Chains A and B, each alone.
Chain A
Amino acid sequence: MDHVASLAAPRPADATRPLMVLAVDDDELFLDYLTLELETLNCMVMAAANAEQAIRFLDHHAFDMCITDWQMPGMDGLALVQQLRSSHGPDQFLHVVMTTARGDARTVRAALDAGVDGFLFKPLDRLQLELAMASARRNVLLHQRLRRRNHHLAVAHGRTREAYRRMEADLKAAAALHRQLLPAPHSAGDRLRLAWTYRPAQHISGDTIGVIPLRDGKRLFFLADAQGHGVPAALTSFHIHHRLAQLAPDTPTALEVALAELNREINAQALESYVTLICGVLAPGSGDGCIVRAGHPSPLLIGPNGIEPMKLEGAFPIGWFEHATFEAEPLRLAPGTQLFLYSDGVTEARDKDGVELELDGLRAMLTAAPEASVDVLVSHVDAALRARRGNAGLEDDISILALEIKGDRE
């Protein structure tokens, strides 16, 4: 149950409600007279003959107002006001008026410092009392209205926070589901070594990475980037990932058919979403396979001859045109060569001065880790990208997938 909503709402401000008044005076006759007058002014009065009795009443009853004498045997009025002010929280309200025969400046100053709101001078005059009570009533009503408004604000704020908390929990759950789709690390005996990094700019990302085992030891690998951000992009990338794993194409023709199918599915969604993608099939035994570039930056080949983007004709992004085709181009990954797939969040990562990394910057990062395994390479680039952004956080999702085939002698 919502703990804020369960708080009792303060009573509505009611101008006709009697004011609850605590009257304190050691002069029984004066106390009697004050009580009678107050009752004619729509007040309910509890009368205390001394400060100690007044404190007991205050402990057990709620008052709007306290009218206390100054000079009393035992605890005087000033000490009473000091004590009740110090025991009251800042949100508690009690209008305090002091009755006194003394009207000099020092007396008034001392009473003000103790927390007195007004004075009534003895002998008491009816008009003076009416004026004081009218002022007290206005204060009480104003206080009640403020309390009520604060209560509504607190309830509304609590509901907003609760809604936000639920949404955040949902997003975290969705992000966790998405993470479960990401590739498992390679096993020790596997010829195909793989490493990846996946850093959503928000809770959930339009990027996804997959490495899916096929029959005969082949692998389907992909890195997709659904355009846009947040939930719609994440749903699209989730769809792409799920469908590719389901269709599991293992030949060039099957890959072309699968991507044409996915293209129709995304295109049929009324949303203006589309996906850029690198997707391929690789046989780790031979290093042969095929690859499709759909509107996505070409992956890099990192080898003895340097770092170059793969030369691929490419096709439209997935989802643009209903009848688009996606030609699978040949891929050959020799031992000692690495295939480096990345999302444009990598090359568009800005430093603190707003300068984008671009392909040359990425190449320089990769060159700084020569002859590294894919694991070392990806951690190196990941760390360098984070260092580049500093404390600013990511603007765009960052995804990297690197693959290499272990040679027989390694």
Chain B
Amino acid sequence: MTASGPDDDIALIDVDVDRLDAAAAPALKARLQARLDGSARKILLNLERVSFMDSTGLGVLVSLIKMLGKDGAIAVTGVQPPVRRLFELTRLDTVFRMASGIEEGKAALRG
């Protein structure tokens, strides 16, 4: 997982695991927590490498929403079909701004 420095108040986080499951979730959660210790309240998650997500992975994203609180916002980009289905099933698609690229994601968060 890598994260680019905030050129503004948006933190871009590349989730660079193929399977976001119980094995990968703790590392992502720790990474997200470290990023949120700063001032970032807007997160752009790049999920283009994630082809599989299970309930634990989903749980990490939900805890991210809770960590950000009311003022926070999350956009996701690069969402592959199985992950999109999971978002739709659990209605997370109504919480995340679903974008089709980094720039679109940033614009969605700024707008």
Contact = CB atoms under 8 A, between A and B. Distances in A.
Contacts of B63: 272
How many chain B residues sit at the interface, stated as a range, is 10 to 19
B6 interface: no
Given A272-B63, A320-B62, A228 B90 contact: no
A403 B55 CA distance: 27
The 7 closest A-B pairs by CB, nearest first: A227-B55, A295-B90, A316-B91, A272-B59, A320-B62, A317-B90, A314-B91
Nearest to A228: B55
A263 to B, nearest CB: 13
A75 B16 CA distance: 82
B71 to A, nearest CB: 16
19 contacts: A227-B55, A227-B56, A227-B59, A228-B55, A272-B63, A274-B55, A274-B59, A276-B90, A295-B89, A295-B91, A296-B89, A297-B89, A314-B91, A315-B91, A316-B92, A320-B62, A320-B90, A321-B65, A321-B66
A400 B19 CA distance: 27
Interface in B35-73: 55-56, 59, 62-63, 65-66
A297 B85 CA distance: 10
A381 to B, nearest CB: 21
A320 B65 CA distance: 10
Contacts, number: 28
A317 B92 CA distance: 10
Interface of A: 227-228, 272, 274, 276, 295-297, 314-317, 320-321
Contacts of A276: 90
A145 to B, nearest CB: 44
Nearest to B60: A272
Nearest to B94: A316
A385 to B, nearest CB: 20
A160 B24 CA distance: 32
A295 B66 CA distance: 18
A97 to B, nearest CB: 61
Given A296-B89, A314-B89, 4 more contacts: A228-B55, A316-B90, A317-B90, A321-B62
Nearest to A206: B55
A326 to B, nearest CB: 11
Contacts of A315: 91
A317 B65 CA distance: 14
Contacts of B91: 295, 314-316
Interface in B66-95: 66, 89-92
Most B CB within 10 A of own CB, among A228, A276, A314, A320: A320
A317 B55 CA distance: 11
Contacts of B59: 227, 272, 274
Nearest to A276: B90
Interface hub of A228, A272, A297, A321 (most chain B Cβ within 10 A): A272
Nearest to B88: A314
